[in-house]
Structure 1
Amino acid sequence: MSITPIKTIFWDIGGVLLANGWDRNQRYRVLTSLGVNVPAYEAVHDEVNYFWERGLMTAQDFFAKTVIDTNLDLHLTFEKLWPLVCSESRILHQGSFDILAALKSSGQYHLATINNESKELNAYRLDTFGLRQYFNYFICSGYVHEMKPLPDIYRAAIDISGLPPETALFIDDKQENCEAARAFGMNAIHFESPAQLRASLTQHGIAV
């Protein structure tokens, strides 16, 4: 339990506010519909995704290496594939949006994100689901070139906030990401549901 007043609240996006951006189930749905050999894709996904989600490779290059150039017989193009990737995004928890809106309206906290996402998919999701109106800034793996749960992304978040880590609260649906934030001196809530989040915020002295 935090005894230091919270000044900055960092939010994960996928799994807390929105569906994930390009997870295994989403990949299976999209790639199967196109006739792509999914096991062959998955065999190279992690290696290439390392660069894409760290902002070291464009979406066009990522899908060229993992899908388009390895399935020439399907005559796929990025222009055909990208809208299908984006269409997998949706609002996951409206209740989480309600809490976020209440925190924004209170004017008491700096609000930011810490999320693993490519630059392109992050921009699409921020714009499509109106997330820019809620947050003061965005700590995205595609911007800072590191991913949760590695410490450098939390270091970037704290450095950019300009405030001590003990005044920060991080909300994420993955326990390992929360543990990494705590190891860096931040407070963390392992998200399970909007109702649980609301109760946990109250325990940290944050009324919503």
Structure 2
Amino acid sequence: MSTTSIKTIFWDIGGVLLTNGWDKGQQQRVLTRLGVDLADYDARHDAANYFWERGLSDARTFFNKTVFHADAPAYNFSFEDLWAALCAENHVLHKECFDILASLRSIGTYKLATLNNESRELNAYRLDAFHLRPYFDYFICSGYVHEMKPHPGIYQAAIDISGFPADTALVIDDKLENCEAAAALGMHAIRFESPAQLSNELAQLGVHAVYA
């Protein structure tokens, strides 16, 4: 495959560049520390999360439905305290992936975009806190397009927004089902395992990036 075949590279964020934003383990750590009934939270989570991660409600609404609801005890922490604890769970996962990103940015051949499942507020926090914005040309997020991977709608939105055919797009994602969904629409996909593996598979597609 020639280097001109790939025009747009879509990056997942959680599991590739950063830790996940608010996964099951993070929820358990934060909510247990704050004294929240996990069973009650879990029973309410999915219904509220459907709207939150699709950008159809905000963070305060999500936590009002799952933590600060009418039947909950009077907690000694606020929404702001909970949000700060949530944000503190976020960290860089692979610095080398940032090196790969910087290399691709410096080459200037490819459009670089995110393609991730995240609420609007948490996505904005992560883009700013970890200085991700300068690496990317644009951002495709479930909170913006109102659909989540692996639903084909979010991939079709990414293809349409790119302005190029599906077979010129490459998706980098740590989840097999998300890679399979991208491939089903004709996109190239790399299932991320490590920075070295990613660099090798990029090279096989004619995309040569270096990392420290």
Category of TM-score, reference length = shorter chain: over 0.9
- In structure 1, the residue matched to 2:137 is 136
TM-score by length of 2: 0.95
Corresponding residue SS for 2:143: helix
- Separation in structure 2 between the aligned mates of residue 155 and residue 185 of structure 1, nearest angstrom: 10
Quote how far apart the aligned CAs of 1:71 are: 2.6
Q: Which of 44-53 and 118-127 deviates more? A: 44-53
Quote how far apart the aligned CAs of 1:72 are: 2.9
- Separation in structure 2 between the aligned mates of residue 39 and residue 90 of structure 1, nearest angstrom: 26
Corresponding residue SS for 1:114: strand
Q: Deviations over 1:38-81 (max 9, x none)?
A: 12111221111000000000100000110112433224321111
Moved over 3 A (4+): 1-4
> What do you get for the CA RMSD once the two structures are aligned?
1.3
* Structure-to-structure mapping, 1:16-95, within 5 angstroms: 16-69=16-69, 70-95=71-96
Identity of aligned residues (%): 65
Q: Unaligned regions of 5+ residues in structure 1, if any?
A: none
- In structure 1, the residue matched to 2:107 is 106
- Separation in structure 2 between the aligned mates of residue 113 and residue 173 of structure 1, nearest angstrom: 13
Corresponding residue SS for 1:139: strand
- Separation in structure 2 between the aligned mates of residue 143 and residue 203 of structure 1, nearest angstrom: 32
Q: Which of 61-70 and 9-18 deviates more? A: 61-70
Q: Unaligned regions of 5+ residues in structure 2, if any?
A: none
Give yes or no for contact 1:201–1:207 (8 Å, CA) kept in 2.
yes
Q: Deviations over 1:141-193 (max 9, x none)?
A: 00000000000000100110000000000000000000000001100000000
- Separation in structure 2 between the aligned mates of residue 95 and residue 79 of structure 1, nearest angstrom: 32
Give yes or no for contact 1:68–1:76 (8 Å, CA) kept in 2.
no
Corresponding residue SS for 1:28: helix
Give yes or no for contact 2:3–2:207 (8 Å, CA) kept in 1.
no
Give yes or no for contact 1:100–1:134 (8 Å, CA) kept in 2.
yes
Change (3 A) 1:57 1:12: same
Please say if 1:146 is aligned against 2:147. Answer: yes
Aligned length: 208
Change (3 A) 1:188 1:173: same
Quote how far apart the aligned CAs of 1:115 are: 0.2
TM-score by length of 1: 0.97
